[in-house]
Homo-oligomer: A and B are copies of this chain.
C-alpha cells in the first residue's frame, strides 16, 4: 500500500506510551487513565493513524464483517433485501462484504467469501453448492440461508417467506372475486424453492375450487421480463384460452403485461394479471398490479439478526417464515380505491 503509513508504534511514541495502551484506547475494552487516553487520541489525530484491518483481524481472530452471497445485486427484487441487510449489519456495527455470484461458475465461488474473511455468511438461493455449504457447516461457521431450505443433513437456519399461502390466496382471489377459471401460471426457475412453492399454492387454489389443473397453462416465466413476454406471446398466438395470468413474480408480470398490451388484449377485462413480491414498480404499472407483498427487506434484517446471534454462539430458530400479504390493485379487476 502506501509507503510510510503511521503504525501503532508511531502513535505510541508520539503519545509517550506503549503500543498496548494505544491498542486499549482504540478498542476501548480495557480501562485507561483519562488523560493518557486523551494524549493517545490526539496523537492518533495528528498522525492520521488508521489501524490496519488485516493485522487487526489476524491478531484478534475476528473480522467484524458479514458476507453476503447473492446471484445478482442489480435486480429490482434485491433492492429491499440489500437495504434490510445493510441496515441490519450497520446496526450491529458490522461491515458487509457482498459478492454477486451470477457471473462466476459455481465451482469457483467457494472461497471468495468464507471463514477467512468474514464472521458469518448470508447465502441466497443457489449461490453456493451443497459441498461448500456442508464444509462451512462442518467447521461450525455461522451461516444463514435466504429463501432456501437447507439439505436435510445440514442444520442451517433459513429465513424465507410464506410463498404457498400467499400464492394460494392470490389465485383464490382471482377465482372467487373475478370468476376466472383458465388461469395461466408463469413459473420461476426450475428447482427454485420460491417458484416451486408458489406453483403449489396455485394448484391448491385450483383444487380447492374444483378447477382442473391444465399443464398447458403452466409456462416459463423465469422471474424475467423477456422470458415471460415470449411465453405469453406464444400462449396467445397458439390460441390458448385464458382469462387470467398468475405470474411467479412481478418482474415476469411486467413482461406479461407488455405482451398483452401488444396483442391488444385488455387487462383486466379480458385477462386479469397478478404477480408476486410487490416490487416498487408494481404500483406504477398500467394497470397497477395486484400482487402478493413479500416482506423482503424484513427478510434481510431478520437474517442478519439471526446470523449475529449465531456468531455470538447464542440460540437461534432454525426456520423463520415471514408472512406475505395480498395486495389488491387493479390488474385483477378490482376497482381503484380513492
A24 is an interface residue with CB less than 8 A from chain B: no
Asked if A58 and B50 sit within 8 Å, CB to CB, the answer is: no
* One of B2, B50, B52, B61 near A140 (C-beta < 8 A): B2
Count of this chain's copies in the oligomeric assembly:
2
Question: Which residues of A from 1 to 26 have beta carbons under 8 Å from B?
Answer: 1-3, 5
Hey, what's the 0/1 contact readout for A75-110 against B, CB within 8 Å counting as 1? 110011011001100100001111110011000001
A74 is an interface residue with CB less than 8 A from chain B: yes
Asked if A140 and B3 sit within 8 Å, CB to CB, the answer is: yes
Which residue of chain B is the closest to A80 with respect to CB atoms?
Answer: B74
A211 is an interface residue with CB less than 8 A from chain B: no
Hey, what's the 0/1 contact readout for A52-76 against B, CB within 8 Å counting as 1? 1111011001110000000011111
Interface residues of A (CB under 8 A from B): 1-3, 5, 48, 50-55, 57-58, 61-63, 72-76, 79-80, 82-83, 86-87, 90, 95-100, 103-104, 110-112, 114-117, 119, 135, 139-141, 254, 257-258, 280-281, 284-286
Chain B residues within an 8 Å CB radius of A48: 135, 139
A2 to B62, CA, bound (A): 10
A284 to B228, CA, bound (A): 15
Asked if A2 and B74 sit within 8 Å, CB to CB, the answer is: no
Chain B residues within an 8 Å CB radius of A74: 79-80, 82-83, 86
Which residue of chain B is the closest to A141 with respect to CB atoms?
Answer: B2
A110 to B5, CA, bound (A): 16
Chain B: minimal CB distance from A75 (Å): 7
Given contacts A58-B55, A96-B98, A135-B48, contact A76 B73 (CB under 8 A): no
Asked if A114 and B76 sit within 8 Å, CB to CB, the answer is: no
A112 to B79, CA, bound (A): 22
Asked if A53 and B285 sit within 8 Å, CB to CB, the answer is: no
* One of B87, B95, B285 near A97 (C-beta < 8 A): B95
Chain B: minimal CB distance from A8 (Å): 12
